[in-house]
Amino acid sequence: MELKKYKLVDIANIEISGVDKKTTEGEIPVRLCNFVDVYRNWAITKAKAEKFMVASAKQMEIDKCAISKGQVAITKDSETRDDIGLSTYIADDFDDVVLGYHCALIKPNPNIVDGKYLNAFMHTRYIQKYFENNASGSGQRYTLTNDTINCIPVLLPSLKEQHTIGKVLSDLDRKIELNRQINDNLEAMAKQLYDYWFVQFDFPNEEGKPYKSSGGAMVWNEKLKREIPQGWDISDVKSLIGPIERGVSYSSDEILDTSATPMINLACFSKSGDYRLGEMKFFSGNIPEAKLISPMDMLIACTDMTQGADIIGRPILASNEFKQYTFSTDLALVIPKGKLKMYLYYTLRTPFYHKYIRPFASGTTVKHLNLIGVENYVLPIPPMEIQSKFEDAISPIKEQQSKNLNEIVALTKQRDELLPLLMNGQASVVNI
């Protein structure tokens, strides 16, 4: 495969975004594709844009940085060198989405370069090494200068070969994205069921009808300061779980061996408190038996570095990506008794609980959770029959989500392994 070398500026228009997260009176409302959206995604789709934050921009900024199909966005500035130069493909057209600051928008000349191919090329080790060598700054901030971006060396095969390579890798990413969407839908179903049963108290009564809506008796609970179904108990969390176990402390030397024990850590929590792939560490130190866990075990975040303490006290469930894990000291293992796991898991994910638990976290830049807050949280306890029914309804959903996560891992590995082979001509679409 013959490759021609170009400077990026010779095959694309490049715009540096200055659109921030603020909403300013007199400016035009927009949705913002910001640094994290570019950093986390191979492609930006309409489905992803539904969750973008609302901001505002001047018409001149919109004209420059409105994103549309076929373009590529890259991260430009960050606190860490590894976070710059990461790219995403703009897979759809949008009416009101603008690229946010700390990013650059690349508008390829379609007669020379295919956007899907260019995005894939930006993920190669060849370009990553270019960014590592040319990033400026140190300590608090690293950046790619305009000249560094303009001079990015781009190796191009024929336009036909670009289309083919770009399509193969994008098709894999679409499969990955479909699994993510399925998991999002499954999570919405599970949360809706929890809300229906334990917020609205319309769990099925003896006749299979919604309890509260069908006239089920409610009684005032003075400790909770609200009504709960007649016959329900209340309890603090401490009485519903075994002893809380904190994770292992580790040094940088103990997380170098990728064949060591998988270690779930704080980075495995997304900002929304969900399980995040691709952040596993591997721990080679000694692990007490109490700090070894299995798929579907529940962990809560005891440390938080987000400004709003977004994940403090929130739970995740270990996926079945591996048969056994350990977990870092930033997390704690919670083992519910009986059939309470799914009920407790979703209770600890409610806004009401999160508002309660935040004051138990202290610190400025890094917040640390006092676990007494978790143990002392009081909640209504449904009868065993309802606990069992909810557990039986939710467990298959969580298991399917875990299977989908495994497929995402496999597809991502396949995509990342194919990338260099396709780019250097060692593999072709014919023999894939």
Q: Per-residue pLDDT tens for 150-177?
A: 999 999 999 999 999 999 998 998 899 8
Let me know whether 302 and 350 are in one domain. Answer: yes
**Exposed/middle/buried for residue 110 (C-beta within 10 Å: 0-12, 13-18, 19+):** exposed
Specify the number of domains making up the chain: 3
pLDDT of residue 132: 86
- Say whether 322 sits in a helix, a strand or coil: coil
The rounded mean pLDDT for the chain is: 93
- Residue where a domain stops, chosen among 380, 397, 418: 380
Band (pLDDT 50/70/90 cuts) for residue 423 is confident
Kindly state the DSSP code that residue 114 receives in the 8-state scheme. Answer: -
Let me know whether 277 and 359 are in one domain. Answer: yes
Let me know whether 172 and 101 are in one domain. Answer: no
Residues 226-254: what's their mean pLDDT? 96
Let me know whether 188 and 267 are in one domain. Answer: no
Q: Are strands 153-156 and 142-143 parallel, antiparallel or unpaired?
A: unpaired
Condensed to tens digits (0 to 9), the pLDDT of residues 92-148 reads 999 999 999 999 999 999 999 999 999 999 998 889 899 988 988 866 788 999 999
Interatomic CA distance for residues 275 and 6, integer angstroms:
40
pLDDT of residue 431: 53
Let me know whether 8 and 146 are in one domain. Answer: yes
Domain that holds residue 148: 4-156
Using CA atoms, how far residue 344 sits from 348, 367, 368, in Å, is 6, 23, 22
Residue pair 73/105 in contact by the 8 Å Cβ criterion: yes
Let me know whether 114 and 68 are in one domain. Answer: yes
Let me know whether 41 and 115 are in one domain. Answer: yes
Let me know whether 371 and 412 are in one domain. Answer: no
Using CA atoms, how far residue 313 sits from 76, 214, 333, 412, in Å, is 33, 35, 11, 30
pLDDT of residue 244: 97
- Residue where a domain stops, chosen among 156, 177, 195: 156
Let me know whether 108 and 188 are in one domain. Answer: no
Residues 14-43: what's their mean pLDDT? 93
Band (pLDDT 50/70/90 cuts) for residue 45 is very high
Let me know whether 356 and 277 are in one domain. Answer: yes
Q: Whole-angstrom distance between the N-terminal and C-terminal Cα of the chain?
A: 16
User: CATH no. for residue 70?
Assistant: 3.90.220.20
Whether 307 has a pLDDT exceeding 90, the answer reads no
Let me know whether 198 and 304 are in one domain. Answer: no
- Residue where a domain stops, chosen among 93, 127, 156: 156
Let me know whether 139 and 277 are in one domain. Answer: no
pLDDT of residue 430: 59
